[in-house]
Amino acid sequence: MLILNRKEGQSIVIGDGIELVVVSIEGNQIKLGVKAPKSVKVYRKELLESIQNQNMASVPSSIDFAKFK
């Protein structure tokens, strides 16, 4: 894991066209801005994990293919 120190207003660039900007720092919270092409999907990690868990829960653990004959 790369760990960087950034101040308010500073940013980092990831790949071609993704920029993370430190918008503000208030106490123990940091507000980040994400500049990315519209084709790049950006999710909060906890939201993405929740979606993935819900999708896995909706898939039957075993399928009885005999029912489809």
Instruction: Give the model confidence (pLDDT) of 22-42 as tens digits.
Output: 999 999 999 999 999 999 999
Q: Is the dihedral of CA 62, 64, 65, 68 positive or negative?
A: negative
pLDDT score, position 30: 95
pLDDT score, position 64: 66
Residue 19: pLDDT over 90: yes
Token output for 3: 């760990």
